[in-house]
Structure 1
Amino acid sequence: MRASDVISIGDLAARTGVAVSAIRFYEAKGLLHPYRNAGGQRRFLRSDIRRLSFILIAQQLGLSIEAIGIELAKLPDGRTPNAADWKRISKAMRVLLDARIAQLARTRDRLDDCIGCGCLSLASCALYNPEDRAAARGAGPRYVLGDEAPGEPVCRSGG
């Protein structure tokens, strides 16, 4: 490995605009894998600039650290990922993004009148979610998450 193939944590921070403390956090979470030089200092491959950029983009898209780690684990260690490597990641990311887009669209479409169990109106809850049927599907805003059962009306009461 040539000296020009590696950069210090400070150089990585300067190049990406990410604080050194955040880089150490991503390392602790297993998203980045620097090695230590003879003096014990962290050294990163130049390809870690792309990995860190991917982390930032994925976080902006709402992916968890765990989900980002799963995707990054598909990349090779010790070499710069090539176009085929990134294409594999991109394919998996499309599935995640499509699901996120669908969830955001449902939320947008129901935001004015349906959240949580299915509506903002306690009077309408008695009609559209009697005895809190949505709770049987799990925690959270079940209708917004897409758990609407066929034939089950969703409140459009407007509160």
Structure 2
Amino acid sequence: MKANDLLPIGDLARRTGLSVSAIRYYESKGLIEPHRTGGNQRRFLRSDIRRLSFILIAQRLGLSLGEIEGQLARLPQGRTPDAKDWAAISRSIRDQLDARIAELQRARDNLDGCIGCGCLSLKNCTLYNPDDALATKGPGPRIVIG
């Protein structure tokens, strides 16, 4: 390993846009693992930039920290993940993303009618929910959230 393969936590923060405390938090969750110098300072692999970037992207896509942890656990230990490793993660979360996209599209397509009707009560809504038939499908705005 070359000396420039390891980054101090401040450099990692600058490269990812994360705060040092956020990086320490992800470290405490086991999502990244620092190397320690002789003076007990944290040094991170340059490839941790990609791991942290994945965390940021996955959070924006709505994955929970537990789901992110599960995906990162699939990456190899002891070597920098390659394009094949990242492609496997991408394939594994594709179904989750497709389901979320469908939910968002359903919400977008029904939001105007469901909230925009003005009745503010599914029990009184004869257009979308006569006789409160949607109550059998569960609580909440069933038309919008599915």
What is the CA–CA distance in structure 1 between the aligned matches of 2:95 and 2:133, rounded to whole Å? 34
Identity of aligned residues (%): 60
What is the CA–CA distance in structure 1 between the aligned matches of 2:50 and 2:82, rounded to whole Å? 11
Aligned to 2:130: 127
Aligned to 2:97: 97
Aligned to 2:19: 19
* Gap runs ≥5 in structure 1: 147-159
Contact 1:113/1:120 (8 A) holds in 2: no
* Gap runs ≥5 in structure 2: none
Contact 2:134/2:142 (8 A) holds in 1: no
Aligned to 2:113: 113
Cα shift at 1:145? 3.6
Three-state SS of the structure 1 residue aligned to 2:44 is: strand
TM-score, L = length of structure 2: 0.83
Aligned to 2:30: 30
What is the CA RMSD across the aligned residues, in angstroms? 2.2
Cα shift at 1:32? 1.3
Cα shift at 1:114? 3.2
Higher helix share: 2
What is the CA–CA distance in structure 2 between the aligned matches of 1:77 and 1:69, rounded to whole Å? 14
Amino acid at match of 1:9: I
What is the correspondence of 1:1-159 to structure 2 with a 5 Å cutoff? 1-114=1-114, 120-121=120-121, 122-124=123-125, 127-130=130-133, 132-135=135-138, 141-146=141-146
Judging changes above 3 Å, is the alpha-carbon distance between structure 1 residues 128 and 110 closer, same or farther for their aligned structure 2 residues? farther
How many residues are treated as equivalent by the alignment? Answer: 140
Judging changes above 3 Å, is the alpha-carbon distance between structure 1 residues 89 and 127 closer, same or farther for their aligned structure 2 residues? same
What is the CA–CA distance in structure 2 between the aligned matches of 1:46 and 1:85, rounded to whole Å? 16
Aligned to 1:149: none
